[in-house]
Amino acid sequence: MNNISEGAESGISTDLVDLRDMPLSRVGSLADAGLLKRILPESPAKQVTVAAFQSSI
Amino acid sequence: MAGPAVPFRQFVLKVASRCDLACDHCYVYEHADQSWRARPKVMSDETIAWSASRIADHAKRHGLPGVTVVLHGGEPLLAGRHRLERISRELIRALDGVCALDLRIHTNGVLLDEAFCDLFAAHGVKIGISLDGDRVANDRHRLYADGRSSYDKVLRAIDLVRRRGPELYAGLLCTIDVANDPLAVYEALAALHPPRVDFLLPHATWDAPPPGPPGAYGDWLVRIFDRWLADGRMMKVRLFESALRTIGSETSLTESLGLEPSDLVVIETEGTYEQADSLKTSYDGAPATGFNVSDHSLDTVGLHPGIHGRQTGLAGLCAECRSCPVVSTCGGGLYAHRYRTGTGFANPSVYCADLMKLITHVQKAVTTMDRTAHTLPAADVAALAAGYGGVEAIAHLEAGQRSVRRALLAAIGNASPSMEAWRLLTEIDRETPAALDTVLGHPYVRVWAVKCLRGTADDGHLASIAATAALHAGVEASVRLPVRDGALHLPGLGLLRVGAVSGATVETEAGGFRVHADGLHHEVRLDEPGGPGEWSPVRHLSVNGLTVALEDVDLYRDCHQWPATQRLNDQEVERWSTLFSDAWALITRDHSAYAAGLAAGLRAVMPLKPAADGSEVSSTARDAFGAVAVAPPADAATLALLLIHEFQHVKLGALLDMVDLYDQDDTTLYYAPWRDDPRPIEGLLQGTYAHIAVTDFWRVRRQADDGPAAERASVQFARWRTQTAEAVETLAGSGALTGTGRRFVAAMGNSIRPWLAEPIPASAEEEARLAAARHRSRAAARVPHGA
Ligand code: SF4
Ligand code: SF4
């Protein structure tokens, strides 16, 4: 019988970073950039983005 | 070439060419380029009109969704209130109906008063202010020509802007001097609660290097970075955020880092176009393009080799930068800082050692963070692949959703100009994380978050989420909430009608909250289900220990293919309650393989409007984990089928958030037996997965029911077992599945294959065959289109 876990005895490792125990204040670009791309593949992050003028904020 | 490789989206208007301060680090007056001496003091009305019309033409021609215009100088407030008002009006008028306008002014602040603030508030102009840190730091450079300090005036200006809130307060810019104590500078800036700050390296080139040993600026920034990280990043720092984003393959937020192309053009006081004005530090005349607003379009300016050269990313860098290990974050630093007589800009930044130090330090901070991935136990994946999945499997999917929601929330919170809600959310996360989980677990919170990040919803709901989390935590908090459609929305709890106001202050406490809006006061106790007439709480469907929300109030629930109903009346709720109880009884009695999963993961039933033709209507949304949208069905058995069917999509959607089962780039469309139009691979996979459960449902019903109901079930079973098995074959042979996807689909096939051998009456078989044939010929007659 074909087994979904073939080659992975105990389980499969996913592509999703586990952020459950990371304090919310530290969640952000440090860990979620790849995750956001997964969830929002067509987000503005894919558009051509440009460098913002540094002498104003 | 017809225009710039990248259209211009940022326009810096030098509305005044002189300044009332005489900072000795100023790039306008104190560096190589001295062109300011020959310029008019302020921008003329004619130049303003030309500039606005050039920008509008350019936006139209390139279909830009929005542009940013920065009113700059010298000191732009020296242009005077009336002129700044004319400039703002002219820009707003020219871009009206063309694209969105993000209008900003960057000032030294010393002239800023209430009247200027009123003007900017009236025209939506955000104010950024320069401040180099505490008094000692600021007085090192930011002085009047006679040596007087500007510090007190700047602080008064910041106080004025702060009091107006994030609509006006854009943030602070700090130019670094390594003689200053970095932490004193950081603390002084943080005390002013800026929505965002940036630290600028003082302008320098290889011909005129910065004071201090190589690497000193990197060390200075690293000390602030560590403190900023330890403080929980409670203030947005553009340089650090850009470093983090580029390490995570996102885009930089500033031209001083990253490989993003430049889309900036400067319009000087007399109407000439210039390249980035930081080039003034390089050599006299360096920023000039030779073009001006009255004679040349912006597309013409885009052809200038200097502009074009800054749009070529990696290819535009020198060999040393191109082979540098941190180039994707550094990007060679700010263009102007690369200049050296002889080689021009084909050099690393004069701050190379500093950038390298900072970036490698940030990289190390990222890699030492705990970044484990979710794992899925083999037994649970096998149960899901077979079409089922119990409490454990759903718990693993839910765990993945929690990470997704936290990432989405943080992406919004970190970018939100209003820190109040974000601070409250991070506090609740620290003290009572279960309360935050409860509100984030409401299915339509993620729907809002995704819309917000895609730019189709605003971030005001963040405050509603924070207030709801505070209520779940039972803590006292005061939050300003947006009012939408005349109501305050507390996701998962309900809505409170407050009338035509734009916002209201909510004060939470254990068990309830008070609201103040424009002189009106409301009080809601959550334990009194009736509450005041303006309060519409979310009602629930409860049966045998299972409780799910009957969600007819959430602001973001209308995200399904079919429209949501309005608030249900009591009789309708009663009918839903009966239908749900009966459907649940049927599921637990006859379809128990699905009951545990549903009980563990179903959070909300969202009533849809009935279809005009009376057909059954139900739906799930990939972003609304745990919600099933359904129009009132004819009977409990139909509701049972729709819940089982739709929950398959909920499970598979959550699994797809965690693992890739198919090639995202596959563009083939496939025949799907349940749709008239061909489907992309994800649609086919979702439909097949759902139809395993549909087949199973009829398989059971044909034995559990009698008479015509059993006959109908036999026909449905006969049709769906064959067609679902065929769809499994289509998936398996698509060549578009990943390794895990192939194993998953094979396991789906293992569920359905034994059902093909189950005996059914020949008449049912024949009827099913005819229905399938009719569908196939209808589908074949249609011109394929994307789904
Ligand atoms: S306030 Fe700005 S423009 Fe004026 S001298 Fe200082 S740095 Fe230059
Ligand atoms: S400036 Fe230095 S650190 Fe930056 S990319 Fe070039 S070589 Fe690398």
How many Cβ atoms from other residues are within 10 Å of residue B571's Cβ? 8
> How many CB contacts within 8 angstroms connect chain A with chain B?
238
CB atoms within 10 A of CB A47: 10
Three-state SS for B15? coil
Indicate whether residue B355 lines ligand 2 (CB < 6 A).
yes
* B660 CB within 8 Å of a chain A CB: yes
The pLDDT tens digits along chain A (57 residues) read 344 544 445 778 888 888 898 888 778 755 566 777 777 766 543 344 556 888 888
Residue B326 CA, closest ligand 2 atom number: 8
Does residue B719 lie in a domain region? yes
What's the confidence (pLDDT) of residue B1?
42
**Within-domain flag for B591:** yes
pLDDT tens digit sequence for B739-766: 999 999 999 999 999 999 999 999 999 9
Phi-psi region of B475 (alpha: psi -120 to 50; beta: other; left: phi over 0): beta
Q: Which of B576 and B527 is assigned the larger pLDDT?
A: B576
Separation of CA B578 and ligand 1 centre (Å): 72
Atom number of ligand 2 nearest to Cα B325:
8
What pLDDT shows up at residue B520? 84
Calculate ∠ Cα B245-B250-B252, nearest 5°: 65
Q: Do A17 and B373 touch (CB under 8 A)?
A: yes
Ligand (nearest to CA of A55) = 1
Contacts of A23 in chain B (CB under 8 A): 232, 426, 429-430
ipTM: 0.78
Indicate if B363 and B421 belong to the same structural domain.
Answer: no
Identify whether residues B749 and B677 lie together within a single domain: yes
Q: Which of B352, B371, B390 is the last residue of a domain?
A: B371
What pLDDT is stored for residue A25 in this prediction?
79
Min Cα separation A7/chain B (Å): 10
In terms of average pLDDT, the best of B169-178, B359-368, B407-416 is B169-178
Taking 90 as the threshold, does the pLDDT of residue B429 lie above it?
yes
Residue B785: pLDDT above 50?
no
Q: Can you give the pLDDT at residue B787?
A: 31
Q: Write out chain B residues lying below 8 Å of A26, CB-based.
A: 229, 232-233, 369
Looking at the CA of B257, name the nearest ligand: 2
Interchain proximity B408–A39, CB inside 8 Å: yes
* Facing residue for A33 by CB, picked from B250, B260, B373: B250
Q: Which residue of A has its CA nearest to B368?
A: A30
Average pLDDT along chain B: 92
Task: Identify the DSSP state of B42.
Answer: B
Using one digit for the tens of pLDDT, what is the confidence trace for B245-254? Answer: 888 777 888 8
Cβ distance B407 to A24 less than 8 Å, yes or no, reads no
- B321 part of a folded domain: yes
Q: Residues B662, B725: one domain?
A: yes
B253-303 pLDDT, tens digit each: 888 998 888 899 999 999 999 988 778 777 777 888 999 999 999 999 988
B460 in a domain, yes or no? yes
Contact list in A for residue B622 (CB cut-off 8 A) is: none
Residues of chain A neighbouring B249 (CB-CB closer than 8 A): 33-34, 37
- Residue B154 inside a domain? The answer is no
Q: Which helix (H) or strand (E) holds B72?
A: strand B66-72
| Selected residue with higher pLDDT from A10 and B242 | B242
B606-631: pLDDT as tens digits: 999 999 888 889 999 999 999 999 99
Distance between CA B14 and CA B28 in Å, rounded? 11
B166 located within any domain: no
Retrieve residue A47's tokens.
């558009």
Helix pair B681-704, B739-756: axis angle to 10 deg: 30
Show the domain range for B421: 416-537
User: Residue B784 pLDDT > 50, yes or no?
Assistant: no
What's the pLDDT at B233?
A: 75
- Give the pLDDT score at B635: 95
- Whether B89 has a pLDDT exceeding 50, the answer reads yes
Please compute Rg for chain A using Cα positions: 18
A47 touches chain B (CB under 8 A): no
Which residue owns the Cα nearest ligand 1 atom 3? Answer: B74
In B368-524, alpha helices (H) = 378-385, 391-415, 419-431, 433-440, 443-454, 461-473
B104/B87 Cα distance (integer angstroms): 12
Q: Which residues of B touch A35 (CB under 8 A)?
A: 403-404, 407
CB B652 within 8 A of CB B662: no
Ligand closest to Cα of B317 equals 2
Ligand number with the minimum distance to the CA of B349: 2
pLDDT higher than threshold 80 for residue B196: yes
User: Residue A45: what pLDDT?
Assistant: 39
Residue B417: pLDDT band with limits 50, 70, 90: low
Weakest-pLDDT range from B39-43, B51-55, B349-353: B39-43
Tell me the per-residue pLDDT of B645-666, one tens digit each, with 9 for 90 and over. 999 999 999 999 999 999 988 8
Q: Are B419 and B452 in contact (CB under 8 A)?
A: no
- Give the end of a domain, one of B488, B521, B537: B537
B475 and B597, same structural domain? Answer: no
State the DSSP code for B209. P
Amino acid identity at B597:
G
Q: Which among B251, B275, B454, B622 is the top mutation candidate for probing chain A, defined by the most A β-carbons within 10 Å of its own β-carbon? A: B251
> Tokens 């320069």 correspond to what residue?
B130
If asked whether residues B348 and B445 sit together in one domain, one would say no
Has residue B439 got a pLDDT over 90? yes
pLDDT the model gives residue B369: 67
What element of type H or E holds B522? strand B520-525
Same domain, B324 and B442: no
Residue B456 lies in a domain: yes
Q: How far apart are CA B545 and CA B721, in angstroms?
A: 34
Q: B2-40 pLDDT, tens per residue?
A: 556 689 999 999 999 999 999 988 876 666 667 777 788
d(CA B436, CA B425): 7
Number of domains in chain B: 3
- Nearest-CA residue for atom 7 of ligand 1: B26
Q: Whose CA is nearest to atom 8 of ligand 1?
A: B26
Which candidate from A4, A22, A26 shows the least CB-CB separation from B378?
A4
Same-domain status, B470 and B329: no
Residue whose C-alpha is closest to residue B175's, from B139, B199, B211, B205: B199
Reported as a pLDDT band with limits 50, 70 and 90, residue B370 is: low
Looking at the fold, whether B616 and B667 belong to one and the same domain comes out as: yes
pLDDT (0 to 100) of residue A51? 67
Coil vs helix vs strand at B578: helix
List, edge to edge, every strand of the sheet that includes B487-490: B487-490, B494-497, B535-537
Q: Verify whether the Cβ–Cβ distance B12 to A33 is below 8 Å.
A: no
Does B326 sit in the ligand 2 pocket, CB within 6 Å? yes
Binding site membership of B170 for ligand 2 (Cβ less than 6 Å): no
**B474 touches B510 (CB < 8 A):** yes
CA-based nearest distance A32→chain B, Å: 6
Amino acid making up residue B78: L
Predicted TM-score of the model (pTM)? 0.70
The pLDDT, as a whole number, for residue B781 is: 66
Cα torsion angle, B408, B412, B415, B419, sign: negative
Residues B651 and B757 in one domain: yes
Pocket of ligand 1 (CB under 6 A): B 19, 21-23, 26, 28, 73-75, 108, 130
Tell whether B443 and B359 lie within a shared domain.
Answer: no
- Given this model, what pLDDT does residue B336 score? 92
- Give B453's contacts in chain A (Cβ within 8 Å): 36, 40, 43-44
What percent of chain B shows pLDDT beyond 70?
Answer: 96
What are the beta bridge partners of residue B70? Answer: B12, B104
Does B249 reside within a domain? yes
Question: What is the rounded CA–CA span in Å between residue B497 and residue B518?
Answer: 13
pLDDT of residue B530 exceeding 90, the answer is no
Span from the CA of B325 to the centroid of ligand 2 (angstroms): 8
Helix spans in B133-206 (H): 135-141, 151-164, 182-190
Question: Over 50: is that where the pLDDT of B783 sits?
Answer: no
> By the CB < 8 Å criterion, does A57 face chain B?
yes
Whether B590 and B496 share a structural domain = no
Q: Which residue has the higher pLDDT, B706 or B517?
A: B706
Atom 6 of ligand 2 has which residue's CA nearest to it?
B321
Mean pLDDT, to the nearest integer, of B475-486? 93
Does residue B327 share a domain with residue B454? no
Q: Final residue of a domain: which of B537, B566, B592?
A: B537
